Structure 1
């Protein structure tokens, strides 16, 4: 996690340097008159400065009055899925307040971590935390899931905090402690005595009668090979068709995997950008070790010295996971789908 520490006073700068020694790496920003070696000067208006760094760091720690911070960040706040964590601390280091993005942004955990490091008191105000419960967005972060609807997440979190019965149905293991009013179950029935449901699944064909929120685990790997010069739009459409065929949400993609000789293929890069996922590059020599597990093409072998691309790439990138869709051709594009082991 990247930290920025912002202070406007000499005492605050002293505390900032102390904190940096505890949580390094971190960048310190202060007024020009207090600037020292290994610190950065705040240039221009304070509000404009905050805007310049707002999305450059995961965590912004302000050592100053909360009111100053609220006024400075107000115009830059978007929503909890993209806002950085905002912490506020007094220059004596007595209290660390988690002000913004406490769950998804990691503000609450950062406040607790910092307070432990410097002997401060963490100030956490989110209802799920003060009631020893759990919010849906916290659960999503812990499990590495995408929240399909923040509105539905808010509704289900309210039910959890208010001690209503919420069921949790999951296609993946949930190895974390849950409050007593969240009940695990393995098979869904409309007659179940729940006020709401958390459904952790990559599927799109959901049919629940209870109010629910879907958390989408990122476990799907797309293995890809293609002819040179195929556009990103065509590759995106092919991937969508493959996912639709198996009723998988596009947010379930963890990575797109291809062979090293295709790592600069513009269409593949554009597809990874479209789905906002990493591009995993598999070296040809690694494919050669396991290509005999898959159907091979003499044409491909003559062209690039290996007989298969999309299946071995998906297999290796998924840590030798479960094959959902074997090699399938989409007019010059070959795809395979895998579930991460």
Structure 2
């Protein structure tokens, strides 16, 4: 995670340094920015807050401002896009008395970070205004953040959160083949029921559905039904040189449709090192808005041996390894299993790996 702490006064820069010293960030990339002439020597400096934000806003997942809230609100307003995209933003006074969760309280984790900092700073208080948190309820977008679920409709999310804050009971329906998630979700004190097939009577209920499969159209675009999709699939791709992005995309969609896999459950694509400049493959990643990981020959060889993957003699003669799509997808996950074995289609091979859930 990339974190920026931005201060505007000398006392604020001292607080920034204190916050930066907390062990909570030891695995993160953190930079302190101080107004020119008003910070510690070790801090990077800036003259214009707007210009600084143009540089750091797209790169950071958490921004901590130590200055007046009004300055922050006016400064970040032009950068705001959507709650699914905006970083978490905290605002503190220079004495650290109040830690305000200003933006992306749930999905970005601002509420969680505000509570953490208030516990670390003596005499500090977290200021959290989201209705579900005020009422000590767990919002679905908190579950989505903690379990890496994709939210199908933010209109439904707003409706469900409002109903939850008004005291309505919301039941979670979890696809039976994802039962491994159930104990962890129940741990949030939520009611979770397993389903093989959703009863039609639920269409009028206020519910949350968790599945990585394609649901009938009637379950979507309803305010009272929130669908969340676990993003735990990786698609491995092998292809001949100069295959178009359109053909690769068609193959991916065909495999997902045939195997009843919601394309929203895919978190990344993977292939071999020799495909890192393959225009069609790069276009596919851009269209799907998915990262692509490219693996070297040695990494693929290791995966082939570890998982005892079948190899193609033709591919092995060409690349020195005989399996690209399955091996590349397996390289992407710490622990996982092949959900869809290598499928050949129009000079393209596709495999789907599901990452194991760990809690």
Please say whether Structure 1 and Structure 2 have the same fold, judged by a TM-score greater than 0.5: yes
In structure 2, the gaps of 5 or more residues are none
Deviation at 1:103, TM superposition (A): 0.8
Aligned 8 A contact 1:220 1:339 in 2: yes
Matched, 1:153 2:152: no
Superposition map of 1:1-341 within 5 A = 1-22=1-22, 23=25, 26-44=30-48, 46-119=49-122, 120-171=124-175, 172=178, 173-174=181-182, 175-177=184-186, 182-187=190-195, 188-191=198-201, 195-206=205-216, 207-208=218-219, 211-275=224-288, 276-279=290-293, 281=295, 283-289=299-305, 293-294=309-310, 296-315=311-330, 317=332, 321-341=336-356
Compute the displacement of 1:238 (Å). Answer: 1.6
Distance in 1 separating the partners of 2:33 and 2:348: 49
Residues of 1 paired with 2:253 and 2:354: CA distance? 16
Q: 8 Å contact 2:98–2:127 — kept in the other structure?
A: yes
Give CA deviations for 1:270-293 in whole Å, capped at 9, x if unaligned. Answer: 333433134252624225425754
- 1:92 Cα offset (Å): 1.1
Give the Cα–Cα distance (whole angstroms) in 1 for the partners of residues 307 and 51 of structure 2: 55
SS where residue 334 of structure 1 aligns? strand
SS of structure 2 residue aligned to 1:176: helix
- The DSSP-based 3-state class of the residue aligned with 1:185 is strand
Sort the Cα spacing of 1:293 and 1:9 in 2 relative to 1 into closer, same or farther, 3 A. Answer: closer
Gaps of 5+ in 1: none
Task: With the length of structure 2 as denominator, give the TM-score of the two structures.
Answer: 0.84
1:254 is paired with a residue of what secondary structure?
strand
- CA RMSD of superposed structures (Å): 2.7
**1:57 is paired with a residue of what secondary structure?**
coil
Aligned 8 A contact 2:212 2:262 in 1: yes
Query: What's the offset of the Cα at 1:10?
Result: 2.0
Q: Distance in 1 between matches of 2:19 and 2:169?
A: 42
Q: Deviations over 1:26-69 (max 9, x none)?
A: 3222222224422222223x344434432232222121221222
Q: Is the 8 A contact 2:148 2:231 kept in 1?
A: yes
The residue matched to 1:235 in structure 2 has which SS?
helix
What is the count of residue pairs matched by the alignment? 338
Residues 1:300 and 1:323: Cα distance change in structure 2 (over 3 Å): same
Q: After superposing the two structures, state which structure 1 stretch, 185-194 or 213-222, moved more.
A: 185-194
CA distance in 2, matches of 1:315, 1:326: 11
How far the C-alpha of 1:159 sits from its partner, in A, is: 1.9
1:142 and 1:163 mapped to 2: Cα distance? 23
Rounded Cα–Cα distance in structure 1 between residues aligned with 2:42 and 2:88: 23
Cα distance in 2 between the residues matched to 1:292 and 1:30: 54
Cα offset for 1:231? 2.8
